[in-house]
Structure 1
Amino acid sequence: MPREHQPAFNAPRVITVTLVVLAAIHLVRFFLSDEADLELLLRFAFIPARYDPSFPYADELLGGEGAKVWTFVTYAFLHGNLTHLVVNGVWLLAFGSALAWRFGTSRFLVFSALTAAAGAATHLALHYGEATPVIGASAAISGHTAAAMRFMFESGGPLDVFRRGGREAFLIPAEPLRTSLRRPQALIFLLVWFGGNALAGLGSTTIGMGDASIAWEAHIGGFIAGLLLFPLFDPVRRGVRPSSQETFDVLPPSRHPPHDDGTGAAGRP
């Protein structure tokens, strides 16, 4: 049987749309005046000083009480410069795609919002009262990376030498975290990722737009949230391998069990 043709650009639709939205927002900001762009930052960037009642310039932080809620997520849609956007876009395409193929659109979007919020909360805990705005999708993408690590290195997974073909590789049941961390590939990846962020913490945390920053603490907060939240969102259960057409917008295996075609292999229903 001929192998299924895979297009050169094979990203889930939710990833493609997200990349377009991020690029469009950045393009719009390029045409804004400095004053208008500053107002946008003051309304949608995550600013720890917003939560400090003693901050003397609280009236200048736009958005009122609502901004204390929505900026936990909206900061992820803003980027300091083109390099910042491109780097995040590449990581989103790599690890976000793997997770979106597994989770489906709805789970992926909720998971992304929660990991972005976890990154912001981590930064707030360590920088309470600071006026420097935090921007960038890095915390959410760090959550994607942590979650993808749970299944990408497993036998038959996307990065395994003997991986399954096509999208079915993204539906390999995940091992428990303790077991997964015993895999040399996963352990090395984890050490390199945390080491890279630790080195970033020793250097500058600002990127573009004056003092707007991408904070390494937010990356780590998003990453840890991704590890912990993964089993709560994962629709693939141990002992069940959904068929390849059950990838995007995956439903729990109990509702769509693999079909036995009589040969002992899971086939199409």
Structure 2
Amino acid sequence: MDASPELPRQGRVPVFNLPGVVTASIAVLAAVHVVRTVLPDDLDLSLLLHLAFIPARWAAAFDPSSAAEIVRAAGEGAGTPDVLAARQDFARYLVADPAAMPWTGASYALLHGSWMHLIFNAVWLAAFGTPVARRYGALRYGLLALAGVVAGALTHLLLDPYSLMPLVGASAGISALMAAAARFVFQPPPPFVAGAPWQLPPRPKLQSIPELLRNRPAMLFLGIWFVTNLLFGVLALPLGGSEGPIAWDAHLGGFVAGFFLLPLMERRLGRSGA
């Protein structure tokens, strides 16, 4: 008599082997961008103004006395007289009736500057959101990404409070997921001898900061990531097909949030320690 358990029949192998929440995240970002491409220009501009994160708007809302400084700063920098005048007009519009619009600290992640910008972020989201979602589930994946998005916006506000450039893109949230994944993916799997076909190997533990510093693949990846963000930020070059320079400070804020918040989300091991 065969005492082995009856295992469920396997269905067809999916074309994209991504967790459902990651697929849904990419689908939502793509759907929002599709809507923007079919909207008239005036409606798309209104959507941008109501969902994008604009540091100067928050600065004026928190400190109304900074309005004059925001308008003055808008007239400085590179650009033709017409461009500088347009910037100042936009600054006057923002500070005329300042409202922080607190939801924009998260909603900006739904918008992207171009299809290439969206595709670039979708690839990174698939690569680093997948291990986080598989390890922690949809809820903690979402909370970690949201924390990275908000941390990225606040970091951008602190470092460039008078900026009129709308901040868009999910990169800060993806940076949080990237930092989280870096704490457990760049290491060999723990020793495991399967006793039965349905047994799963134990998941790798989170690496502490000293352990991560001794992990060459992890440090190489993190070093390339930091240098790339710094160079593109300092040189003010677009990355990933975005229409403007990358907000390296928002990426950094998201990364730090993901790196240090992840241990708080780590599930406790079972009673058996497996």
Q: 1:58 to 1:12 in 2, by over 3 A?
A: farther
Q: Does 1:217 align with 2:249?
A: yes
Q: 1:122 to 1:226 in 2, by over 3 A?
A: same
1:226 match: 258
8 A Cα contact 1:134 1:215, kept in partner: yes
CA distance in 2, matches of 1:17, 1:33: 26
Q: 1:129 to 1:202 in 2, by over 3 A?
A: closer
Query: What is the identity, as a one-letter code, of the residue corresponding to 2:222?
Result: L
Q: Secondary structure at the match of 2:183?
A: helix
Q: CA deviation at 1:65?
A: 4.0
User: What is the TM-score normalised by the length of structure 2?
Assistant: 0.75
CA distance in 2, matches of 1:29, 1:116: 21
8 A Cα contact 1:152 1:170, kept in partner: no
User: What is the TM-score normalised by the length of structure 1?
Assistant: 0.77
Q: Match for 1:76 among 109, 112, 115?
A: 109
Q: 1:169 to 1:119 in 2, by over 3 A?
A: farther
Q: 1:58 to 1:40 in 2, by over 3 A?
A: farther
Query: What is the identity, as a one-letter code, of the residue corresponding to 1:183?
Result: N
CA distance in 1, matches of 2:93, 2:123: 37
1:101 match: 134
Q: CA RMSD in A?
A: 3.2
Q: CA deviation at 1:199?
A: 1.6
Q: CA deviation at 1:37?
A: 1.0
Q: CA deviation at 1:77?
A: 0.7
Flag structure 1 segments of 5+ consecutive residues without an equivalent: 241-252, 259-265
Q: CA deviation at 1:58?
A: 6.1
Q: Name the stretch that deviates more: 170-179 or 35-44.
A: 170-179
Flag structure 2 segments of 5+ consecutive residues without an equivalent: 5-9, 72-90
Q: 1:139 to 1:120 in 2, by over 3 A?
A: same
Q: Match for 1:20 among 20, 23, 27?
A: 27
8 A Cα contact 1:45 1:78, kept in partner: yes
2:224 match: 192
8 A Cα contact 1:95 1:141, kept in partner: yes
8 A Cα contact 2:22 2:126, kept in partner: yes
Q: CA deviation at 1:10?
A: 1.1
Alignment of 1:43-192 (within 5 A): 43-51=50-58, 52=60, 53=64, 54=67, 55=70, 57=91, 59-60=93-94, 65=99, 67=101, 69-156=102-189, 171-192=203-224
CA distance in 2, matches of 1:120, 1:167: 43
Q: CA deviation at 1:200?
A: 1.1
Q: 1:87 to 1:209 in 2, by over 3 A?
A: closer
Q: Secondary structure at the match of 1:152?
A: coil
1:34 match: 41
Matched residue count: 235
